[in-house]
Amino acid sequence: MEAKLRRNEWPPDWHTSFGMYPKHHFHSDAHELIAVTRGTLNGRFGGHDGIDVMLSMGDLVVIPAGVGHFGVSITDDLRLTGAFPLGFGIHDFRLGYPDEYTRMVARSRRVPLPSMDPLHGAGGPLVELWAEAEQ
């Protein structure tokens, strides 16, 4: 999987067995990919009123810049790989404080759409779906 991510310009950046950060947070400067390579992760996406999604080995999620997420629970055998589009990475870690929220949402909207789908490359579903959503 990591070789495929590299080929498709989503180089792996981190690995962890601790799961996603256990508090609501978002990144205003990059889209983030999280792949479950072992175990199970229950993650919440979309902030406090978001949706809970159970992810298990082989699942992959791409979180758009500015979308809140946190780890609800994990299994003891969890292993995650994280990646960002080539040239991007997390330089900020935001908890959504009211005094910064409007500014950070605007910043998130300026992050360009990925040019490559992490699994299928140019023209893959992620690229097509996100381009349609922008219209």
- Reference 59, options 42, 44, 84, 72; nearest CA is 42
Continuous H helices in 33-96 = none
What integer pLDDT is reported at residue 17 of this predicted model? 94
Query: What pairs with residue 94 in β-bridges?
Result: 26
Task: Name the token pair of 101.
Answer: 């929220």
Instruction: Report pLDDT digits (tens) over 21-69.
Output: 888 999 999 999 999 999 999 999 998 899 999 999 999 999 999 999 9
Q: Which CATH architecture has domain 2-100+107-134?
A: Sandwich (2.60)
Q: In the chain, where are the structural domains located? A: 2-100+107-134
41 vs 56: CA distance, rounded Å = 6
**pTM of the predicted structure, to 2 decimals:** 0.92
Instruction: Report pLDDT digits (tens) over 60-98.
Output: 999 999 999 999 999 999 999 999 999 998 778 888 888
Which amino acid would we find at residue 23?
K
